[in-house]
């Protein structure tokens, strides 16, 4: 059944973690479940969902329909903004597990820091408990800036294993990536194809893609994977799902990397988690 061979990186505790997973935002209901099932049957073993996406039940249905051993699939979910807080985060997470039909998630993240609520630290303490209790294998955050990560680390001494951030050749985030490396945090890229930023239309990217006879999406994904950054491209299309996880023939050289470096719109173009909140 498995055709894809997906490379892995390593979490801080030495656990292997796929460098390419399937994003699922917008994949809902029966059609969404079918698309996720197709990804699993092709060989994807990392699935990114969130309470906020309203599709955890579809992810659970896909896991069961795929015929893949559930133990082999790493499911990530996220604590929604409205579920932040010491008890609320636990209840929110248990609701996610119920909808997924799982006893534990491989990775649970705080979806956004939402500083106006001031509950990120309490939420982090709950994730630490959930990991200690064995209810979550790994814990991390999403959309946290370096100083927001530092606050969690200073208060608890526990470093998030993953930070999932908006990242693509259009938003290269070098300071964030360097901070993560320094602290042993795996960087995971959302929006890695950069559709929101019109990345696929950029001449420099099209030129690199044309040179290698591959899609612009494949170049963007390879550029991230080459830096040991996990990517979670979303596609509802089974063939594009396979293309997005077939990057072996995309071998970028220095000239390619120089062209891709010119695409960075800068940190200011990324959604700023000091102001942008999602509840
Ligand atoms: N933590 C957060 O705050 C956060 C925020 C946003 C997203 N995410 C996660 O990250 C995942 C990915 O981000 P995203 O969905 O925003 O953006 P993305 O994966 O960069 O782009 C998805 C878009 O690209 C298209 N696409 C996929 N593969 C393609 C290919 N090979 N060629 C051409 N077009 C292609 C998809 O259309 P088709 O489906 O038609 O192929 C879809 O419109 C999400 O699904 C979600 O799991 C997390």
| pTM, rounded to two decimals | 0.98
What's phi and psi for 205, nearest 5 deg? -70, -40
Q: Please report the atom of ligand 1 found closest to the CA of residue 278.
A: 3
Query: Which of 109, 194, 233, 271 is the pocket-test mutation for ligand 1 (most atoms within 8 Å of CB)?
Result: 233
Q: What does the alpha-carbon distance between residue 193 and residue 170 come to, in Å, rounded to a whole number?
A: 9
| DSSP class of 150 | H
Q: What does the alpha-carbon distance between residue 2 and residue 259 come to, in Å, rounded to a whole number?
A: 34
Alpha helices by DSSP H, the chain: 29-42, 56-66, 86-100, 120-132, 146-156, 174-182, 203-212, 216-225, 238-244, 254-261
Q: Please report the atom of ligand 1 found closest to the CA of residue 192.
A: 20
In the chain, the domains with their CATH numbers are 18-194+224-247 (3.20.20.100)
Stretch 104-117: mean pLDDT, rounded?
A: 98
> How far is ligand 1, taken at its centre, from the CA of residue 191, in Å?
5
- Backbone φ/ψ region at 26: left (φ over 0), alpha (ψ -120 to 50), beta: left
> How far is ligand 1, taken at its centre, from the CA of residue 155, in Å?
34
Interval 135-185: pLDDT, tens: 999 999 999 999 999 999 999 999 999 999 999 999 999 999 999 999 999
pLDDT at 109 over 80: yes
44 noted as active-site residue: no
List 20, 42, 51, 53, catalytic entry = 53
């Amino acid at each position: 059944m498995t055709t894809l061979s997906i490379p892995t990186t390593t979490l801080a505790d030495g656990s292997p973690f796929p460098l390419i997973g399937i994003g699922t935002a917008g994949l809902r209901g029966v059609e969404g479940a079918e698309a996720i099932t197709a990804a699993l049957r092709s060989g994807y073993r990392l699935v990114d969902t969130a309470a906020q996406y309203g599709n955890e039940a579809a992810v659970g249905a896909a896991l069961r329909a795929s015929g893949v051993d559930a133990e082999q699939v790493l499911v990530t979910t996220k604590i929604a903004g409205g579920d932040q807080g010491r008890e609320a985060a636990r209840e929110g997470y248990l609701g996610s597990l119920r909808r997924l039909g799982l006893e534990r998630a491989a990775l649970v993240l705080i979806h956004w820091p939402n500083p106006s609520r001031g509950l990120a630290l309490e939420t982090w303490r709950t994730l630490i408990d959930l990991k200690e209790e064995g209810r979550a294998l790994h814990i991390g955050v999403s959309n946290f800036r370096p100083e927001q990560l530092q606050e969690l680390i200073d208060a608890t001494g526990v470093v998030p294993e993953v930070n999932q951030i908006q990242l693509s050749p259009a938003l290269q985030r070098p300071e964030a990536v360097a901070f993560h490396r320094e602290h042993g945090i795996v960087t995971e890229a959302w929006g890695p194809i950069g559709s929101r930023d019109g990345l696929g239309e950029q001449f420099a990217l099209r030129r690199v893609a044309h040179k290698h006879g591959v899609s612009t999406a494949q170049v963007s994904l390879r550029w991230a994977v080459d830096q040991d950054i996990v990517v979670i491209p979303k596609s509802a299309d089974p063939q594009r799902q396979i293309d997005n996880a077939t990057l072996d023939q995309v071998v970028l050289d220095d000239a390619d990397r120089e062209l891709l470096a010119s695409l960075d719109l800068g940190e200011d173009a990324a959604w700023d988690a000091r102001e942008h909140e999602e509840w």
